[in-house]
Amino acid sequence: MPPVMSAKNKPVETPPPPGVRRTGLIFRTIFICILVVITARVASPEVEHIWSVYETPGDLIRVVLGFAVCVWLIVHLFVLPKDAAGYRTWFYMGFALIPLSILLGVVTW
């Protein structure tokens, strides 16, 4: 079925069903949270305490970049998709991305 055209010849976007919207939002949230955990784990210093980060410049750079990426991901956690296609995309891709990201999290831990 072709999209309904408005007076200015722009397709009118129909909102996704509530189940697709809710599930897409949940998948998106889970995926971003897993990315934050993986990034924090990978960016942590090699020695157990945080003050050892000043001993090597590589650790300091890794921790600073990891912190910046984590902040960026957390900010995007609260920026919701602006259109219905974003929720549908997260709904369909979530079925593949969530298991893969969990697997990646287990492997990197």
Residue 1 resides in a domain: no
In a domain? residue 43: yes
Higher pLDDT, 29 or 58: 29
Q: What is the DSSP code (8-state) at residue 7?
A: T
On whether residue 2 sits in a domain, the answer given is no
User: What does pTM read for this prediction?
Assistant: 0.77
Residue at 13 is within a domain: no
Is a pLDDT exceeding 60 seen at residue 5?
no
Q: Is 10 part of any domain?
A: no
Q: Is the pLDDT of residue 30 over 90?
A: yes
Helix ranges restricted to H, 46-83: 57-77
Per the domain annotation, does 12 fall within a domain? no
Question: How many of the other CB atoms lie within 10 Å of CB of 56?
Answer: 13
> What domain range includes position 48?
18-108
**d(Cα 41, Cα 37) in Å, to the nearest integer?**
6
| Structural domains of the chain, count | 1
The model's confidence at residue 49, banded by pLDDT at 50, 70 and 90, is: low
The answer to whether 94 and 23 have CB atoms below 8 angstroms apart is: yes
26-30, 50-54, 64-68: the lowest-pLDDT one: 50-54
**Which SS3 state, helix, strand or coil, does residue 11 take?**
strand
Look at residue 52 and tell me if it is in a domain: yes
Distance between CA atoms of residues 6 and 11, nearest Å:
6
Say whether pLDDT at 36 is over 90.
Answer: yes
**pLDDT tens, 60-95?**
888 889 999 999 999 999 998 888 888 888 999 999
92 within domain boundaries: yes
